[in-house]
Amino acid sequence: MIAGEVHKVADAILYEGYALYPYRASNVKNRQRWTFGGLYPPKYAPHTGDRSSFQAEMLIECSSDPVVDVTVRFLHLVEEERAGESWQTGIEREVRVSQGASAQSFTFPAWQRVEDGVVQRQEQVDGVIEIMREGLENGHQKLTVRVTNVSGLAQSNQLSRNDASLHALISAHAIVRVAGGEFVSLTDAPAPLKHAIERCENQGVWPVLAGEPLARDCMLVSPIILSDYPQVAPESPGDLFDGAEIDEILTLRILTMTDSEKEEMRQMDERTRRILERTENLSPSQLMQLHGTLRNPHALAADPRSKS
Q: Report the alpha-carbon angle 160-162-168, nearest 5.
A: 105
> Cβ contacts of residue 236 below 8 Å, gap of 6+?
247
More confident residue, 292 or 174: 174
Report how far residue 157's alpha carbon sits from residue 47's, in angstroms, rounded to the nearest whole number.
Answer: 6
Lowest pLDDT segment from 55-59, 187-191, 205-209, 304-308: 304-308
Query: Which residue from 95, 169, 176 is spatially nearest to 142, judged by alpha carbons?
Result: 176
Q: What is the pLDDT of residue 24?
A: 86
* pLDDT tier for residue 98 given thresholds of 50, 70 and 90: confident
End-to-end CA distance of the chain: 35
Residues 185-244 pLDDT 10s = 999 888 888 889 999 999 999 999 999 989 999 999 999 999 999 988 888 888 888 866
Q: What is the pLDDT of residue 190?
A: 87
What does the pLDDT average to over 8-14? 93
- Look up the pTM and report it: 0.87
Q: What is the pLDDT of residue 29?
A: 82
What does the pLDDT average to over 283-292? 85
Residues 110-167 pLDDT 10s = 999 999 888 999 999 999 999 999 888 778 999 999 999 999 886 655 778 888 999 9
Query: Which residue from 76, 54, 77, 49 is spatially nearest to 224, judged by alpha carbons?
Result: 54
Report how far residue 46's alpha carbon sits from residue 43's, in angstroms, rounded to the nearest whole number.
Answer: 7
Report how far residue 211's alpha carbon sits from residue 10's, in angstroms, rounded to the nearest whole number.
Answer: 11
Q: What is the pLDDT of residue 297?
A: 62
Report how far residue 101's alpha carbon sits from residue 193's, in angstroms, rounded to the nearest whole number.
Answer: 27
> Cβ contacts of residue 138 below 8 Å, gap of 6+?
192
Report how far residue 201's alpha carbon sits from residue 203's, in angstroms, rounded to the nearest whole number.
Answer: 6
Q: What angle separates helix 270-280 from helix 247-255, to the nearest 10 degrees?
A: 90
